Structure 1
Amino acid sequence: MPLKLYLLPILTLFIMTFSSCSKKDSGSAVKPTEEGLKVSLTNVTEASYTAAAGSTYTFQAAVTSKLPSSGVNITVKAVTDPGGVNIPQNAVAPSTSGAIAITLIGLEPLRTVLVTVVITSTSNPDNTITKTFWITNKAE
């Protein structure tokens, strides 16, 4: 009998404790959403093979969607395929222009390289797009 007498107040206290521990909104501002980035690469064949005539190769990334007001950051990674050896590339400056020139360097003769270009909104790191292609230096 005494257990039933104490059970209701204990359950009530238990429920009140957990209901008061719910997260409260701190009033954080909601970021306005940006249009998703759309990018096309020129002078290369996306997701396919391209031939280079020397150890450097220049191509363009064109942002075809509305460009974020703060601009975009560009990261270029080149890795031999097969082999997976990283070929260091020059940093590409952040851009507020829709047309971005990118120059690959260090392309070895008769070597295929997998190039990955990542373009990210400066103000919203979740707004990102990745493009890949392979390039081979055909010069001997």
Structure 2
Amino acid sequence: MPLKSYLFTTLAIFALIFSACKKKGPIEPKPEEEGLKVTLENVAEGQYTASPGSSYTFQVKINSVMPAQGVNIKVDAITDPGGIVFPQNPVAPSKDSVINVTLVGLEALRTVKVTITITSAGNGNNTITKTFWITNKSDE
């Protein structure tokens, strides 16, 4: 009769083990963030734009789904040719699909290469860069 008691104990242990190891639901992967798609309004991307004065405002338009944490925008302005850096005001992080950016300190009759880097605030690998040139056409 000892075999019956061992058999019952063994079956009870297996039942506990298998019930504790129940298969949990599938692990849902973190949704991938859509790659940024951006256009610049009021400037000619990759080409030359004329500014009527020492400052110029244009828009960064996010055409893709806005990342949950928004985007960061970095503006670099360097004379072309010459490589003199024109410091620009920082652009606040935003969740808006249209973001105004104002270039400042544009010298008269000088061409500046402007590079805009747009990066997802939640995913540093989701980034896009746009470039254009701008010339202050005023006599000031």
In the other structure, the counterpart of 1:130 is 129
Rounded Cα–Cα distance in structure 1 between residues aligned with 2:115 and 2:125: 18
Q: Secondary structure at the match of 1:86?
A: coil
Q: Which has the larger radius of gyration?
A: 2
Rounded Cα–Cα distance in structure 2 between residues aligned with 1:64 and 1:123: 17
String of CA shifts for 1:37-68, please: whole Å, max 9, x gaps.
00000000000000000000000000000000
Cα RMSD for the two superposed structures? 1.2
Q: How far does residue 32 in structure 1 lie from its aligned partner after superposition?
A: 3.2
Compared CA separation, residues 31 and 124, structure 1 to 2 (3 A): farther
What TM-score do the two structures reach when normalised by structure 2? 0.78
Q: Give the alignment of 1:57-136 within 5 angstroms.
A: 57-136=56-135
Structure 2 portions without partners, runs of 5+: 1-28
What TM-score do the two structures reach when normalised by structure 1? 0.78
Q: Which runs of 4+ in 1 moved over 4 A?
A: none
Rounded Cα–Cα distance in structure 2 between residues aligned with 1:48 and 1:33: 33
Structure 1 portions without partners, runs of 5+: 1-29
String of CA shifts for 1:93-133, please: whole Å, max 9, x gaps.
00001000000000000000000000000000000000000
Q: Give the alignment of 1:51-62 within 5 angstroms.
A: 51-62=50-61
Q: Give the alignment of 1:30-45 within 5 angstroms.
A: 31-45=30-44
Q: How far does residue 33 in structure 1 lie from its aligned partner after superposition?
A: 1.4
Rounded Cα–Cα distance in structure 2 between residues aligned with 1:64 and 1:33: 17
Alignment: residue pair count: 112
In the other structure, the counterpart of 1:3 is none
Rounded Cα–Cα distance in structure 1 between residues aligned with 2:31 and 2:134: 38
Rounded Cα–Cα distance in structure 1 between residues aligned with 2:54 and 2:73: 21
